Copies of this chain bind each other. A is one copy, B any other.
Amino acid sequence: MDAAEFRRRGREMVDYVADYLENIEERPVSSDVEPGYLRSLIPTEAPLEPDNYDDIIKDVERVIMPGITHWNSPYFYAYFPASNSYPAMLADMLCGGLGCIGFTWAASPACTELETVMLDWLGKMLKLPDHFIAGTHGRGGGVIQGTASEATLMALLAARCKTLRRIRAANSELSEGEIRSKLVAYTSEQAHSSVERASLIGDVTMRMVPTDSTYAVRGSMLKKMLEEDKAAGLIPFYFCATLGTTASCAFDNITELGPICNKEHVWMHIDAAYAGSAFICPEFRPLLNGIEVFKNMHSNLINRVKKREDIIGAFNVDPLYLKHENQESGAVQVYFHLHTQYILQTQVALAKEFESLVRADKRFEICAEVVMGLVCFRLKGSNDLNQLLLKRITNSREIHLVPCQLSGVFVLRFAICARSTDSRHIQHAWRHITQLSCELLQENH
């Protein structure tokens, strides 16, 4: 394909994407394919002769679309919002054209530089304390990770490395193996599964801290566990707090937790993968209060540290082919990608609208406070009843949502995800849920 054909096909693709998003409501939000569906639709081996471009594009509708869950559908209420937008797609096209890999400053200086300055912008929008800002002379700053899971893992590994050095410096008689077998990490029992996975990858013990009735970790709960473990000769080193849990959007009490972690030399990391971007809104910023005392935070795909060296020092390997003159300026691995902020206030209003529909119906109950764009609800009754309701919702393919478990109870999560979701879709979704519930309750009587 030459540049002239790319111009023509590029225009067609822009129109295809715009058509797709403008008419997405006409597609069933979720897929009804069976595992293995795709294999029979295409050849078993790569063709030796090139396919015609038009045939390949036809395969998008024939092969791919039947197996797509439409995350941008206004009827998609599962998981959490995807973060694409028209401006983000244009930025991605530009990045694809540049095609540079910014693994060091010299490999493309603009990558590292733009990331550093943009994360300072974001830090200021979040009103973070100055020591989290890189600035021109600061030691803080942020770095974009591929996923929130990576950010959690990187913080855990950096904390492990820093703690091993600190304990060894003070206790030269202890071997590294002895120290590491005593390390204990902590997180909420409501934390995302990627936090526990980070401890498996980092090969350290992780204990789950119980939560209060709002599914938040309080200072007293963590303090009790730290004291128990210290008394048993263990070394607490890492606590991952969550602001906006996946199950119910609960907020750990970081104002209580921060000072405890500081006092005990425990690296405190915040997973705010969902709620983080909301803190740029004045009405939600108080949820971030307490950040001032922090050693470390991460928010929505961003790993932000007070001291860059803690991250850089932990995994520095310096081969000659990556050396360059400006190495000491704090270059770190970067991914060049522009994201846009969600139109969050609208989404919260829609969640509140859905919440009031649920509250007005005595057959249902709300299972957790609605703070942002997530509503946890269920039919009053057994877990089996609610599992059956979700199964029927899923099979209908009119709306798409996923469950969670709160205090052993099976709960339906209704998350406002797509930018295009408006009141009309919320009302339709609720009518659909109540209709399926009516049928279900009648059958059960």
Residues on A lying within 8 angstroms of B by beta carbon are 1-7, 9-11, 13-18, 20-22, 31, 33-39, 42, 44-46, 60, 63-72, 78-79, 82-90, 92-94, 96-101, 105-111, 113-114, 116-117, 120-122, 124-125, 136, 146, 157, 160, 175-178, 180-181, 192-194, 196-197, 200-203, 246-247, 314-315, 317-322, 326, 329, 402-405, 410, 413
- Known contacts A46-B125, A105-B35; A201/B157 CB under 8 A: yes
Contacts A16-B94, A203-B202; A70 near B100 (Cβ below 8 A): yes
| Contact partners of A192 in chain B: CB under 8 A | 319
**Known interface pairs A17-B96, A71-B108, A79-B107. Does A38 touch B113 (Cβ–Cβ under 8 Å)?**
yes
Bound together, the chains give a CA A201 to CA B247 distance in angstroms of 29
A404 near B314 with CB under 8 A, answer no
Q: Which residues of B contact A122 (CB under 8 A)?
A: 46
Contacts of A44 in B (CB 8 A): 120
Q: A92-B92, A97-B17 are in contact. Are A87 and B31 (CB under 8 A)?
A: no
Interface contact B402-A321, CB-CB below 8 Å = yes
Give the complex CA separation of A82 and B89 in angstroms. Answer: 20
The 10 closest A-B pairs by CB, nearest first: A67-B110, A10-B14, A17-B97, A84-B99, A177-B181, A38-B113, A67-B109, A35-B329, A6-B86, A1-B86
Asked whether, in the complex, the Cβ of A9 is within 8 Å of the Cβ of B71, the reply is no
Q: Name 14 extra pairs, CB < 8 A, besides A82-B100, A201-B201.
A: A13-B90, A16-B97, A20-B97, A21-B97, A45-B124, A46-B125, A69-B100, A71-B101, A83-B99, A92-B92, A176-B181, A194-B317, A197-B315, A200-B315
Q: Which residues of B contact A13 (CB under 8 A)?
A: 90, 93-94
CB <8 Å contact, B90 and A6:
yes
> Taking CB as reference atom, which chain B residue is nearest A335?
B146
A40 to chain B, nearest CB (A): 9
- From A70, which residue of chain B is reached at the shortest CB distance? B100
Which residues of chain B are near A9, meaning CB under 8 Å?
A: 86, 90
A109:B69 contact, CB within 8 angstroms: yes
Q: How far is the CA of A37 from the CA of B106 in the complex (A)?
A: 13
**CB within 8 A of A6: which of B14, B98, B200?**
B14
Chain B residue numbers with a CB within 8 Å of A99 are 71-72, 82-84
Q: Is the CB of B67 within 8 A of A113?
A: yes
- Rounded to whole angstroms, the CA-CA distance of A116 and B64 in the bound complex is 13
A82-B101, A94-B13, A403-B321 known; A109-B200 Cβ under 8 A: no
- Asked if residues A38 and B117 are in contact (CB atoms below 8 Å), the reply is yes
B-side contacts of A1, CB under 8 Å:
85-87
Question: Across the interface, which residues of B come within 8 angstroms of A70, CB to CB?
Answer: 98, 100
Selected from B63, B117, B321, the residue in CB contact (under 8 A) with A247 is: B321
Tell me whether B46 and A21 are in contact (CB under 8 A): no
| CB-CB nearest in chain B for A327 | B35
Residue of A39, A109, A326 with most chain B CB atoms under a 10 A cut-off:
A109
Given contacts A36-B136, A117-B42, contact A10 B105 (CB under 8 A): no
The answer for the CA separation of A13 and B7 in the assembled complex, in Å, is 10
Are B319's CB and A10's CB within 8 A? no
Write the nearest CB–CB distance from A199 to chain B, whole angstroms: 10
CB distance from A331 to the nearest CB of B (A): 9
Shortest beta-carbon distance, A305 to chain B, in Å?
A: 17
Q: Are B314 and A200 in contact (CB under 8 A)?
A: yes
Contacts of A121 in B (CB 8 A): 45-46
Q: How far is the CA of A33 from the CA of B78 in the complex (A)?
A: 45
Interchain Cβ contacts under 8 Å between A and B, 20 examples: A3-B18, A14-B14, A14-B93, A21-B97, A35-B113, A36-B329, A37-B109, A38-B109, A38-B113, A39-B116, A63-B110, A69-B100, A83-B99, A92-B93, A192-B319, A193-B318, A202-B203, A247-B321, A321-B413, A322-B402
